[in-house]
Amino acid sequence: MEGITFDKRFFDSTRGQIVTLLRSAPCTVEELAGKLNLTDNAVRAHLATLERDGLVRQSGLRRGPRKPHFTYVLTEEADRLFPKAYDALLNQLIAVLKTRLEPAEIEDVLREVGRALAADAPAGGNLESRVQTALKVLEAIGGAAEIEQHGDKIVIVSSGCPLAAAVSVHPEVCRLAETLVAEIVKVPVEERCDRTGRPKCRFELSQKES
């Protein structure tokens, strides 16, 4: 990756657009080609370069109508492309709090921060519009989430985490995001994030109004 500059010009390029799309969710070559209006071969060429640079990797197979297709995801190295200047500050803040407060008190503080962040979000509307607001707020703090439906639950999932560096050291930080989402959507929310390897967000929403 030596000599590569990841600035606005990179993210405006085709490879930058691929990185941005993969930040939201794993994609196959065919899916990327459709979203970028490129041929499959053109996408494969860009992916080969991104793989060489250590930014993307293959991750399993997805069934297709005729044959399975490889999916691609971002690597941990790719997370460094996105602004995270707050990581060191947040990690240090939580470390200091742990020397002064009990675990339950730290959780209360994190939830209070989540509520404060949610207070600035637009209020009102039906559940669908509130969920869309939550997605936009998560995006504003560096996340890239999408919605899935699982039975009677709406699930907000992301292939990454806007607080990944902090969560890796202090997993209780997920309580901040859980409360943030719950305050916006106004229904019960349960955090089921994957904190193994590269953290991935998952918030399960009941469709019952709280």
Helix/strand/coil (H/E/C) assignment for every residue in 120-170 = CCCCCCCHHHHHHHHHHHHHHCCCCEEEEEECCEEEEEECCCCCHHHHHHC
Mean pLDDT, rounded, for 121-134: 89
Q: Give me the pLDDT at residue 197, please.
A: 78
Average pLDDT, the chain: 85
For 111-127, what is each residue's pLDDT tens digit?
999 999 899 888 888 99
Q: Give me the pLDDT at residue 64, please.
A: 65
Strands 56-62 and 69-74: what pairing? Answer: antiparallel
Range in 48-52, 64-68, 113-117, 201-205 the model is least confident about: 64-68
Query: Three-state DSSP class for 87?
Result: helix
Amino acid at 181: V
Q: Give me the pLDDT at residue 139, please.
A: 77
Entry pTM: 0.63
Q: Give me the pLDDT at residue 102, please.
A: 95
Q: Give me the pLDDT at residue 210, please.
A: 52
State yes or no: pLDDT of 4 exceeds 60: no
Q: Give me the pLDDT at residue 3, please.
A: 44
Which residue has better confidence, 41 or 21?
41
Range in 6-15, 26-35, 122-131, 198-207 the model is least confident about: 6-15
For residue 207, give every residue at least 6 positions away whose Cβ sits within 8 Å of its Cβ, in sequence order, or none: 127, 152, 153, 154, 187
Task: Quickly state the pLDDT bin for 2 (edges 50, 70, 90).
Answer: very low
For 55-114, what is each residue's pLDDT tens digit?
999 987 777 666 778 899 888 777 666 655 566 778 888 999 999 999 999 999 999 999
| The two three-digit tokens of residue 71, written as one number | 């999916």
For 137-166, what is each residue's pLDDT tens digit?
887 776 778 888 888 789 999 877 878 878
Of 184, 190, 194, 186, residue with least CA distance to 203: 190
Q: Give me the pLDDT at residue 209, please.
A: 62
